Amino acid sequence: MSPNAPTSDSHPTWFRSTYSNGAGGECVECASTDTRTSVRDSKADGRPVMSIPNTAWTTFVQALKQSWLRQSAAKGQRRR
């Protein structure tokens, strides 16, 4: 995901992952503000939003990246 510059907490700018193909698949939208990151279902933007502190969001994304890297490395070792 490539976040936009933080905006004020009252007017977040929503964005989708660069991996999203725009065909309405399984996708979420995120918005970063000065203090929080919010996540919502891209197909139901009127529904409730999950909002967490930016520090928690950064930790979450880093954990996902590390897990993906470990899984990719393990798959590469099995193919040899």
* pLDDT for the residue 57: 92
pTM greater than 0.75: no
What tokens were used for 52?
């967490």
Q: How far apart are CA 72 and CA 11, in angstroms?
A: 38
2-51 pLDDT, tens per residue? 344 444 556 778 888 777 666 656 688 899 988 999 998 888 767 889 99
Other Cβ atoms less than 10 A from the Cβ of 52: the count is 13
Q: DSSP label at 18?
A: T
Say how far residue 33 (Cα) sits from the centre of its chain. 14
